Structure 1
Amino acid sequence: MKPDDTPDSVLPMLTSAQASHLRTLAAPYAQDGHHHSLHNLAHICRKAPEERWPGLVAAHFARLQQASKGDESAEELLRGVHARLLPAESLTPELAGALRYARVVADGLVFAYALDGPTSVRILTDRDVERAGIEELGRAAYTNLMRVPVQHDEVPVEGRARLHSLYGDSPFTAGKALFLDAAARQVVGEPLPDAGALVVVPTRHNLVYHPIADGSVVDAVNSLAAYALGAHEDGPGALSPRVYWWHRGSLTSLTVIDRDTLTFSLQPPPQLLGLMKGLVRLDRAGRLAPRTAAEAPDPVELTRTTAESMGRLGQDPAGLADAFASALALAHARCAADPRAAHIDTWDAWATAVQLGSALFTGAQPQECHLGEDLVRHLPATAAEPPADARAWLDALYLAVVCRQKDRIDRLCQVPLETLRQDDSVDEYVLNWIDTLQTYFSRRSMDDVVQKLLATMETSMPDALTHAPKDFVNRIDYQPTALFHRLIAGDHDAFAAALAEAVTEHAGYWGESVAPRARVALGPLAMASLAHDHGFPVAPDQPHLPTCLLDRQRIEDIP
């Protein structure tokens, strides 16, 4: 790189030589005693031949001269003030001295108040803020900002990700990123998930965000990064090329910029990385309620997929996890047309899921698996090499409990907890819950069971969650724990009430979804089956709890 091509440290969109030339042109206009940022002017000049720069500079400062001189009344300030985001590099030391109230809200972004005038926008100084009152100014700036009209587009990108683009003529549009949840409610009609959203503000005229709700966040982060960098370079009004995480009112940069090499990389903070891992794992396993409608799975197609997966196990034992996932989806899907699980094809699917789930974690001898209509597949001898998949272990155990497979339950409870603790996609409460169940089914001290159950409850509190969405935890994942609590307490009435609540929460979470897991509340079904065998009066024919499995009518021997 030639010396003259070195980017300027303050105005990186220009070379050092170009920035020096621009400062020389702007110097006469600084004699009015005001300090003016050259950031936006630099973006304008970057796209024009240098012989046009004197005219562009003159026009720029003419517009500033037409702006107010800072003698507005408090009422006028409150009427026109807006919250605004500024690029951090635009806040020169001279300007910072007059804007002590302004604050850095994230890497590369500064929050300030701006007055919307008839011909230009003026950043308010400390004297302005003192004149109007900081609290009053804050309320008015928010109210005025949320009144700024924007257009909204929903943009599909690679994978399943969808981005929400908010844009408009106002230079305050990007400032809505400060209050993204309110902006999303206002424009899209939906609040952001508890995990927040990824957002970019490449220019002052637009922002683009993606709600962090499922595994599509991985596709979204790359698409947002590419868009932000391109749109920021286009200017004028450039704001930031970074990707941010909006969470509970704060913005955190995911983008790391190496100033020496001028390269960009994405490094999510640990909390967000944990959320992303958890969402991807949950999403791939079909555990999250889809936000968009999808076609109901075809049991015939799922049967074919399961049979094919099993047929490859002799050559590829590593495919057992996929075969188990397919069989489990089939078992759930069969209950769409057979909600009582009264038919033999439904039982075959459940029995096969039991066989594959147990084999995945504890190994197995060669055995036959029936998939209905005389379709039989052979499960080859399988070594005991349990994967670090905590939720799949829970599925395998729940299936064994529902299908009354005592020997398989015993073997599953011998899977080392330390192996399952290697799963970095789950919250601590999931591992504590596994510990509770292993302790209980291994017939160890009830004092130990209670202690581990209490640890499960404590670590499932909202503030302790780092991987799973709160809605999923409360309505799906925690319900078996609440039922188990009532079960070991021997409280029949409380168990019945908790079971009714679990079924209601399951239905509310899945809504109209046709996903396989929407059909059966597997965890509550396992706890209800356990309660039934302990003499609890469990009401029959409850939705999402197949009666013929619950009361053992359909239970048969499994190889």
Structure 2
Amino acid sequence: MLTAAQAARLRALAAPYARDGHDHPLTNLAHACRDVPEDRWPELVAAHFARLRQASTGGESAEELLRDVHARLLPVESLTPELAGAMRYARVVADGLVFVHALDGPTSVRILTDDDVERAGLEELGQAAYANLMRVPVEHEEVSIEGRARLHSLYGDSPFVASKALFLSAAARQITGEPLPDTGALVVVPNRHLLAYHPITDGSVVDAVNGLASYALGAHEDGPGALSPRVYWWHRGGLTSLTVIDPDTRTFSLQPPPHLLGLMKGLVRLDRAGRLAAASTAEASQVTELTHTTAESIARLAGSPAGLGEAFASAVVLAHAHCAADPGAAHIDTWDAWATAVQLGSALFTGGQPQECHLGEDLVRQLPATSAEPPADARAWLDALYLAIVCRQKDRIGRLCQVPLATLSRDDTVDEYVVHWIDTLQSYFCERPMDDVVEKLLATMNTSMPEALTHAPKDFVNRVDYQPVALFHRLIARDHDAFAKTLTEALADHGAYWGTSTAPRARVALGPLAMASIAYDHGFPVATDLPYAPAYLLNRERIEVIPPA
């Protein structure tokens, strides 16, 4: 900004124009003067106040108001007590931001008063303000920032560009053809000519928070038309500030609200495990590289047993990846990968004795003895159980179901329904009364409703994570026809969720495959030529001996 001496000179130049009894903020004028030589300041000041004199002073007809009104965001501090008294319709929409109606004139913009609103009608004015705002032209650019995060930047000459944040989902659809996800977006409106947002779809949200914070601070200082240096969460039509400003020290910190923080934790873990279609970039065809990674992870366990979780995650990805070229799991290398994943999952949660892990082509790694120190990773436990079910490992299923629910429920990255689902499965395999199983299944269903979700995207829950629950419901009801129909739907939803993705987890619907394996073993007429459900695992023809845990 200006130096103290420059600011004093600007105030002196503006003083003669301030004798009209009005308080004229000089912030935008200061931004304009900053970029030109000081000998041109007098003409800039004169032109600035000439535009103010030409500005509308009111009295437009209702038709004129409706034709040119726009919804607009202003910084809260711009709403002086005098203005607030004449604009009772205005409302604070988030920390630091106030919503008003503004009239776009040929040379200036006038903020509407209560009298203007009454003349045109509040509802009619609101509809016109929205429609006119959506017609404001903008430039669109995608910007990469630190990490994997990408921002959508909207900018333009109009002073209303940033105000599109009021209707961000509609603006995003208009620009990109896609609405915002149910999880919303992070957004900044540093000045009136710019907004930038990041749709919240995966673990890159963590990078986006920090990147947007820096982006907003820089653009807010550069101006003109400074609006807010804060980072906001746009969610369900509202804006919530993540930025906390200490009024004494003027320092900034980021404090996401609890709901967003839980969502961020959930997305990061889902992302790292390759469970999200939006984030997955790994190629299922990279079996050689994945085999090497898994083998190296196992080899390091003798000296670093804490890496068992990472080794298991790698083995799960490898098992899925093999099914790209071998969708039926007919080959021995595919079986070896699945068996290794079973061994590592069991060892991670229940411990085990030393044993060999085969990864094909005479590649063998020694899994050392491990103690039972289960991590608080609920979905990894589900992976381990699903794998044990598919590979018909009755002893390992029993051992996994002895893992304390209290340990798994400490996982703060999952929604409540995940813990209820684990409780349901443990009760079922431990042969507790069926009434108890049904009660826990109902708790799973009730807590998986869209309005109850706080950690996982609705699309992921509906199309992927909930499907085993729906199948289990049909399984314990012994309804063969309903199970077959639900299985077909579950596999179709799996395919729709992943689309054309080549990510490893796109290749197999692990949860539905596990439920289908139980049904097959219980005499249900389960088809074995289904997509995303390897036939030779489902019908047991590929199942071989796995060293005991």
Partners of 2:438 and 2:398 in 1: how far apart? 20
**Which of 167, 190, 204 is 1:179 aligned to?**
167
Q: Using the TM superposition, give the Cα deviation of residue 41 of structure 1 relative to its aligned residue in structure 2, in angstroms.
A: 3.5
Aligned-partner residue type, residue 305 of structure 1: T
**Which of 206, 219, 235 is 1:231 aligned to?**
219
Q: Using the TM superposition, give the Cα deviation of residue 28 of structure 1 relative to its aligned residue in structure 2, in angstroms.
A: 6.0
Q: Counterpart in 2 of 1:455?
A: 443
Q: How far does the alpha carbon of each residue in 1:493-535 deviate from its partner, in whole angstroms, 9 at most, with x for none?
A: 0000000000000000000101110000000000000011111
Partners of 1:268 and 1:343 in 2: how far apart? 48
Secondary structure of the structure 2 residue equivalent to 1:113: strand
Q: How far does the alpha carbon of each residue in 1:277-306 deviate from its partner, in whole angstroms, 9 at most, with x for none?
A: 100000000000036866444111111111
Partners of 2:478 and 2:176 in 1: how far apart? 47
> Which 10-residue stretch deviates more, 442-451 or 19-28?
19-28
Q: Using the TM superposition, give the Cα deviation of residue 557 of structure 1 relative to its aligned residue in structure 2, in angstroms.
A: 1.1
Aligned-partner residue type, residue 526 of structure 2: V
Q: Counterpart in 2 of 1:87?
A: 75
Q: Is 1:411 matched with 2:438? A: no
Q: How far does the alpha carbon of each residue in 1:241-298 deviate from its partner, in whole angstroms, 9 at most, with x for none?
A: 1111111110111111112111111111111111111000000000000368664441
Q: Using the TM superposition, give the Cα deviation of residue 190 of structure 1 relative to its aligned residue in structure 2, in angstroms.
A: 1.2
Q: Counterpart in 2 of 1:380?
A: 368
Partners of 1:71 and 1:92 in 2: how far apart? 22
Give yes or no for contact 2:159–2:192 (8 Å, CA) kept in 1: yes
Partners of 1:450 and 1:359 in 2: how far apart? 30
Q: Counterpart in 2 of 1:526?
A: 514
Residues 302 and 410 of structure 1, relative CA distance in 2, 3 Å threshold: same
Give yes or no for contact 2:271–2:279 (8 Å, CA) kept in 1: no
**Which of 51, 54, 59 is 1:63 aligned to?**
51
What are the residue-to-residue correspondences of 1:102-141 with 2, within 5 Å? 102-141=90-129
Aligned-partner residue type, residue 161 of structure 1: A
Q: Counterpart in 1 of 2:499?
A: 511
Secondary structure of the structure 2 residue equivalent to 1:312: helix
Partners of 1:557 and 1:374 in 2: how far apart? 17
Q: Is 1:286 matched with 2:274? A: yes
Partners of 2:289 and 2:13 in 1: how far apart? 71
Q: Counterpart in 2 of 1:264?
A: 252
Partners of 1:294 and 1:311 in 2: how far apart? 23
> Which 10-residue stretch deviates more, 225-234 or 293-302?
293-302
Give yes or no for contact 1:35–1:94 (8 Å, CA) kept in 2: no
Q: Is 1:301 matched with 2:289? A: yes
> Which 10-residue stretch deviates more, 39-48 or 65-74?
39-48
Partners of 2:82 and 2:9 in 1: how far apart? 20
Q: Using the TM superposition, give the Cα deviation of residue 61 of structure 1 relative to its aligned residue in structure 2, in angstroms.
A: 2.2
> Which 10-residue stretch deviates more, 289-298 or 85-94?
289-298
Q: Using the TM superposition, give the Cα deviation of residue 235 of structure 1 relative to its aligned residue in structure 2, in angstroms.
A: 1.3
The number of aligned residues is 547
Q: Counterpart in 1 of 2:345?
A: 357
Q: Using the TM superposition, give the Cα deviation of residue 55 of structure 1 relative to its aligned residue in structure 2, in angstroms.
A: 5.3
Q: Counterpart in 1 of 2:298?
A: 310
Partners of 1:25 and 1:95 in 2: how far apart? 25
Q: Using the TM superposition, give the Cα deviation of residue 98 of structure 1 relative to its aligned residue in structure 2, in angstroms.
A: 1.4
Q: Counterpart in 2 of 1:253?
A: 241
> What's the Cα RMSD here?
2.0
Partners of 1:83 and 1:39 in 2: how far apart? 22
Q: Using the TM superposition, give the Cα deviation of residue 87 of structure 1 relative to its aligned residue in structure 2, in angstroms.
A: 1.1
Secondary structure of the structure 2 residue equivalent to 1:404: coil
Secondary structure of the structure 1 residue equivalent to 2:278: coil
Q: What is the TM-score when the length of structure 2 is the normalising length?
A: 0.96
Residues 511 and 442 of structure 1, relative CA distance in 2, 3 Å threshold: same
Unmatched runs of 5 consecutive residues or more in structure 1: 1-12
Q: Counterpart in 1 of 2:473?
A: 485
**Which of 445, 467, 483 is 2:433 aligned to?**
445
Give yes or no for contact 2:284–2:324 (8 Å, CA) kept in 1: no
Residues 293 and 307 of structure 1, relative CA distance in 2, 3 Å threshold: closer
Q: Counterpart in 1 of 2:134?
A: 146
Residues 23 and 123 of structure 1, relative CA distance in 2, 3 Å threshold: farther
**Which of 99, 106, 110 is 2:87 aligned to?**
99
Q: Counterpart in 1 of 2:386?
A: 398
Q: What is the TM-score when the length of structure 1 is the normalising length?
A: 0.94
Give yes or no for contact 1:215–1:283 (8 Å, CA) kept in 2: yes
Unmatched runs of 5 consecutive residues or more in structure 2: none
Aligned-partner residue type, residue 318 of structure 1: A
Q: Counterpart in 1 of 2:421?
A: 433
Q: Counterpart in 2 of 1:215?
A: 203
Q: Counterpart in 1 of 2:181?
A: 193
Q: How far does the alpha carbon of each residue in 1:314-338 deviate from its partner, in whole angstroms, 9 at most, with x for none?
A: 0000111111111111111111111
Aligned-partner residue type, residue 130 of structure 1: E
Aligned-partner residue type, residue 284 of structure 1: R
Aligned-partner residue type, residue 293 of structure 2: T
Give yes or no for contact 1:502–1:524 (8 Å, CA) kept in 2: yes
> Which 10-residue stretch deviates more, 38-47 or 178-187?
38-47
Partners of 1:42 and 1:126 in 2: how far apart? 30
Identity among equivalent positions (%) equals 80
Partners of 1:52 and 1:513 in 2: how far apart? 58
Secondary structure of the structure 2 residue equivalent to 1:200: strand
Give yes or no for contact 2:421–2:441 (8 Å, CA) kept in 1: yes
Secondary structure of the structure 1 residue equivalent to 2:239: strand
**Which of 278, 302, 312 is 1:324 aligned to?**
312
Secondary structure of the structure 2 residue equivalent to 1:236: coil
